[in-house]
Structures are given as structure tokens and as C-alpha cells.
Amino acid sequence: MRCGVLALALCASAWTNAEALAADWTVGANIGNVPWEFAEKDGSYTGFEIELVQELGKRLNQTIDIQNLPFEGVIPALLSDRIQIGIASMTITDERLKSLAFAQPYFDADQSVTTLATSSVSDLDGIKGTRVAVESAATSDIWATKNEAKYAFESINRYDSMSSAVLDLQAGRVDTYIADMPAIAYYIKDKPQFHIVARIPTGEQYSLIFNKNFADIAAINDAISQMKKDGFLGSLHKKWFGTDPATDSSTVVVEPLPVAK
């Protein structure tokens, strides 16, 4: 930036403001993860978290480049500095907080079990001995691995997307699919051949995930606080899930930045 003598003060001020936030954000998004981030017919990206990061960009005067990544590719991309922000309905966990950072949570969720409507599986106990589908490295994968002995799964089959897992469920190559409750409920709402048979209480909370060295974490977290206060996040919840968020949920309540316990 070059400054004339008469414009020195203004130029210095502009330089300070420009340096306050990184020039651009590269966002890694698990496209296909409805209703959080997915592609429209014209190829444009949409979804709850897409609209969230777009609004953050507007409020903080940042341009955004969204890159399509599989779920298991988001964390490696953050650790290698190829992206600055990850969106993938990412659950805040102590393990992830050891090497990465999160903004405050903005959605509360559990896991679920989905089957074909014709399946004999009708509850959580029914998944014993079944061929289970999960999304690789997701909370469903962690839960299934932890509970493999308890439920004596015939196999745990890992997929890079919800659509791939559901295709194999429909084809009969797996018997049950463990997935985030809000995502699968949205995905199968117009697909009567599938049925959610059980909720798995996990007490998860979703948020944006960052490399710990990302300079804009505090600014983004403050903007999310404001979005809760002014109702923007509540309106997103209403748009994508058809209901207002609970008044005591993380979609409404301002919370501190997560730290590892």
C-alpha cells in the first residue's frame, strides 16, 4: 500500500483495518451433507452452514471461497493450512480441541438409526448383529466403533458421504445406517422407503472448526453471538428445520468459546 504525504493518516488507518482480519477465508465444506451444505441443481452451494458463513463474511467484510471436501478431509485440510474454516455439522469434542479450535456451538443434536421401512429392526437393540453404515471419521463412526462389542455388529461399513451410505442401505448391502439425526431426517423426509427407528442420545453440539492459529476466531465468535441476539440463527433454524429453536438451545443462548476439559 502506497501513501502520499497528505493521505498518510488515512492510509495508516486503512492499513490497520485491513490487517485486523485475514484478507479472505477458504472454507472447507462437506457438500452433500444436507441440510447443512449441499449443491443446488445449478451447482451453487446452499444450506444452513453455507448461509451462516456467507452471513459471517458479510458482517466481517470478508470474501469467501468454498471448497468441497469429504468429511474426513476437513480436519487434515485445516491442519495443513489449506483451509481456514471447516463446516460439516462438526461436533465439538475434547479430542478435536487438542489440535484445533471451535467457535461457540450453534446447534444441538443426537445420532440416529435409519433402516429400510421394510426392515425388522424397530429400536436400538435391533441393530445387534447388523451390517452398519457410518460416515467415515464422523461421530457416528466413533459411536459405532466404541459400541462394536456391545452390539456385535456383523460389520461397520464406512462411507465418504450420506448419499453413498443411503444408496447401499437401499440396495441391501447394509442393514442399518447410523447418522446425525437432523441431517438424515432432512434427507429422507420425502423418501418413504426409509425409516428412523431410534434416537441415540449423544448430546452433541455443532460449530465451525478452525486451525488454532487462525486470526479471526474471536471476531467470528463475536459475530455468532450477535447472530443469536438479533435472531439470524433462529431464522436459519426455522428455514431449514421448519421450527423455531428451543429457547435454551445453543442456537439461541450465547456461549463461551469451547475449551478442552
- Cell 443446488 belongs to 40
Are 49 and 89 in contact by the 8 Å Cβ rule? The answer is yes
Q: What is the predicted pLDDT for the residue at 44?
A: 97
Q: Which CATH class is domain 24-108+204-241?
A: alpha beta
Expressed in angstroms, the distance from the first to the final Cα of the chain is: 44
- List Cβ neighbours of 65 (8 Å cut-off, separation of 6 or more): 24, 25, 26, 27
Which grid cell is 125?
A: 437393540
Domains of the chain by residue range: 24-108+204-241, 111-203
- The predicted pLDDT at position 261 comes to 85
Other Cβ atoms within 10 Å of 128 Cβ, number? 12
Query: What's the helix, strand, coil split of the chain in %, to 5?
Result: 35, 25, 35
Chain length of the chain: 261
The cell for 48 is 444452513
Looking at residue 232, what DSSP letter applies?
H
The class of domain 111-203 in CATH terms is alpha beta
Residue 47: which region, alpha, beta or left (left: phi > 0; alpha: psi -120 to 50)?
left
SS3 162: helix
Using alpha carbons only, what angle is made at residue 124 by residues 96 and 245, rounded to the nearest 5 degrees?
60
Phi, psi of 194 (to 5 degrees): -115, 155
Before 35, cis peptide (omega within 30)? yes
Query: In which region does residue 126 sit, left (phi positive, over 0), alpha (psi from -120 to 50) or beta (all else)?
Result: alpha
What's the predicted TM-score (pTM) here? 0.83
**pLDDT value of residue 9:** 45
Coil/strand/helix, residue 224: helix
Nearest to 133 by CA among 102, 190, 171: 171
Local confidence pLDDT in tens for the 261 residues of the chain: 444 444 444 444 443 444 445 448 999 999 999 999 999 999 999 999 999 999 999 999 999 999 999 999 999 999 999 999 999 999 999 999 999 999 999 999 999 999 999 999 999 999 999 999 999 999 999 999 999 999 999 999 999 999 999 999 999 999 999 999 999 999 998 999 999 999 999 999 999 999 999 999 999 999 999 999 999 999 999 999 988 999 999 999 999 999 998
Domains 24-108+204-241 and 111-203 share a fold: yes
Beta bridge mates, 115: 195
